[in-house]
Structure 1
Amino acid sequence: MNYNQLKEDIISFSRQIGIDKIGFTSADPFTEMKNLLIRQEELGYQSGFEHKNIEERTHPDLIFEEPRSIIAIALAYPSKMKDAPRGEKGARRGIFCKASWGVDYHVLVREKLEQLEAFIHERVREARMKLMVDTGELVDRAVAERAGIGWSGKNCSIITPEFGSYVYLGEMITNLPFEPDEPILDQCGECTKCLDACPTGALVQPGQLNAQSCIAFLTQSKNFIPDEFREKIGNRLYGCDTCQTICPKNKGMDFHHHPQMEPDPEVAKPLLQPLLELSNREFREQFGAVSGSWRGKKPIQRNAILALAHFKEESAVPDLIRVLNHDVRPEIRGTAAWSLGKIGGNEAKAALLHAKAIEKNKDVLHEIHKGLQFFMEEDIG
């Protein structure tokens, strides 16, 4: 078998099926990434969504018998929305990050990998492959970096020369001995714009992220958002694009190669107040196809409540009072109480005092107290 020719054939086929970039690397251990992951764990910087076993995340031979190479792919996604609706007073809107526009990227990238897998199987019957997109054991970024897809930026994203960091990543381990590609040299230079712009200071140093304070991860949590981050969420419903939009390497990068990635404006920038009333079925119907729905409606609704407080949207007060009085989820009731305090007004204050008298959950009572504290500070001021 001429593996150099097979590699060229795979590259050619990848272009035919719409893969924007492809690279090959060895299946050697990811030693540098292992050290970084150990350090992240020691510092408590992990998000909690990662695969738990660091050995399996960095040693392909622990998750695949006799690996010989890894193929990495990248699909470029749009950074600009056509006909984006504008929010206004009385009709405020939230925003999903660009990586959650269009159909769930896990589905799209896996489809491309499966097409590659079938193509390789046709040519090498004994070929074995293991496909991964984001939720696999390996660290996509480490594979992509070593395979020459791009370099690992100070914002912890893979940055490609062709598409910036607006790319979805996926990979497959194989038992075929492909020649590895050369990694791309770091091109961030002295630039620190992403670190300077991070709303919460989650980029603690170049290439190191504290996920516990990263808005992208906070918006996916299901608990109360810590007080110090609530106002910094802004109107983000899922994810955060700040460290990408500020990056000079992303200037002018906007690719519309894949129709399935085009956002539905009413999904990517939905009205906030209707979100508070969505049933599980309605949530699945409206948002089920996008990656930002993977944690269910609760985080999205909590973030919508914070966004209404961010806008100080007075028209939302009756909706928030209904949530405070009737929602069965403490995190949602409590966040509504805090937001009512931020928005202010006599109606909000009366609702908080009423809730204080009847609420049984201590966490919600704590949030009601915070909401009422805003009124006390206003009186003192």
Structure 2
Amino acid sequence: MSKSPAEISRLIKAKAQSFGFAFCGISEAGFLEEEAPRLEAWLNSNQHGEMAYMANHFDKRLDPRKLVDGCQTVVSLVYNYFPAEEIAVNDFKISKYAYGEDYHRVIKDKMQGLWDALQTDLGEFSGRMFVDSAPVLEKAWAKKSGLGWIGKNANLIIPKKGSFYFLAELLIDLPATPDGPIKDFCGTCTRCIDACPTDAITPYVVDGSKCISYFTIELKDQMPASLQGDFQNWIFGCDICQDVCPWNRFSKPHREPRFETNLQDVDWEGLSEEVFQTLFHYSAIKRTKLKGIQRNIDYVKKKRP
């Protein structure tokens, strides 16, 4: 006997929790009408910088049914990555999301286990899994499913839990009872806007071409001299707008062994290619290559000309 949409929704959430996902939200697949003009305006103003891939697959980003045939439901998942302690070696700072093993690997493994379990409990169904790896507007779907609201720093904020969570999705061809969005609790707070040293944030919009994370990870060209001295020693990513957010006072350390790290022992300025490849073979930091890390270190060590 087939299960009702409500039963499917309840079962997916219970199973997601059993695989370590902190929260799970359900949305009916469809066109993201509110997001369309925002995305178009963001792209047209070149706030994606050199991230040309952000302009690809515009229609698929706004409608998962164009990405996955027969998709009826978007399952939004979040996984905690907040560490027990912050790491800074020689004052060089690394974004918390990169402390341990590459989250793509870790979360995909969790999702595969969840997928297999759901195939057993729900019967065979079709769809796809995504972890920041396809044209899916993850935060928009998480917001639509009521997991949280999108804050002024453009991050998903979960009430009384904060924003240090990875996002992932299952796009499936089963009907499930959807959840609804919650209200915005940013209020009049502007701490993220005020704290951003490169003025990348306006309310609810981040200019990617001004963001420290963009410069230290995505940008392949020379760093802008005009911002020298503003990076506050971030050499891979940046957490400033999250660190200052009052909602992150509720953050609790994760319990994922694969996110544990030995970064505090790294001699960043003495890295050889061989050591870099050994240390970061399964790390998100590998994305910049050693040349990128060296460039970033040189940049933050110099004062504004």
Deviation of 1:199 (Å)? 0.7
CA distance in 2, matches of 1:78, 1:202: 23
Checking the alignment, whether the CA contact within 8 Å between 2:25 and 2:76 is kept in structure 1 is yes
Deviation of 1:256 (Å)? 2.3
Structure 2 partner of 1:212:
209
SS in 1 for 2:54: coil
Cα distance change on mapping 1:255 and 1:101 into 2, 3 Å: same
Checking the alignment, whether the CA contact within 8 Å between 1:79 and 1:253 is kept in structure 2 is no
* Higher RCO (CA 8 Å, separation ≥ 6 residues): 2
Deviation of 1:79 (Å)? 4.1
- Mark the runs of 5 or more structure 2 residues left unpaired by the alignment: none
Could you tell me which of 31, 34, 49 is aligned with 1:32? 34
CA distance in 2, matches of 1:104, 1:162: 26
Could you tell me which of 16, 19, 27 is aligned with 1:17? 19
Deviation of 1:265 (Å)? 3.3
* 2:283 counterpart of 1:290: yes
Structure 2 partner of 1:173:
171
Cα distance change on mapping 1:265 and 1:126 into 2, 3 Å: closer
Q: Identity across aligned pairs (percent)?
A: 26
CA distance in 1, matches of 2:20, 2:55: 29
Structure 2 partner of 1:334:
none
CA distance in 2, matches of 1:31, 1:238: 34
Deviation of 1:51 (Å)? 5.8
* 2:3 counterpart of 1:2: yes
Structure 2 partner of 1:140:
138
CA distance in 2, matches of 1:297, 1:34: 37
* 2:65 counterpart of 1:72: no
Checking the alignment, whether the CA contact within 8 Å between 2:43 and 2:55 is kept in structure 1 is no
Checking the alignment, whether the CA contact within 8 Å between 1:78 and 1:261 is kept in structure 2 is no
Deviation of 1:291 (Å)? 1.4
Structure 2 partner of 1:253:
251
SS in 2 for 1:266: helix
Higher helix share: 1
CA distance in 1, matches of 2:297, 2:82: 24
Structure 1 partner of 2:269:
273
Deviation of 1:93 (Å)? 4.3
CA distance in 1, matches of 2:116, 2:235: 37
Matched residue count:
300
Cα distance change on mapping 1:224 and 1:167 into 2, 3 Å: same
Deviations 1:147-202 (Å, cap 9, x if unpaired)? Answer: 11111000000001142001000001110000101112111011111111111000
Structure 1 partner of 2:229:
231
Deviations 1:263-314 (Å, cap 9, x if unpaired)? Answer: 32336xx433213xx21x321211222212223222211011123325xxxx
Trace 1:282-361 onto structure 2 (pairs within 5 A).
282-309=275-302
Checking the alignment, whether the CA contact within 8 Å between 1:77 and 1:256 is kept in structure 2 is yes
SS in 2 for 1:31: coil
* 2:159 counterpart of 1:161: yes
Deviations 1:42-78 (Å, cap 9, x if unpaired)? Answer: 1110141536121111111111112110101000112
SS in 2 for 1:231: coil
CA distance in 1, matches of 2:229, 2:281: 27
Cα RMSD, aligned residues only: 1.8
CA distance in 2, matches of 1:261, 1:162: 22
Could you tell me which of 63, 66, 78 is aligned with 2:67? 63
Deviations 1:115-160 (Å, cap 9, x if unpaired)? Answer: 2211221134441121111121111111111111111000000001
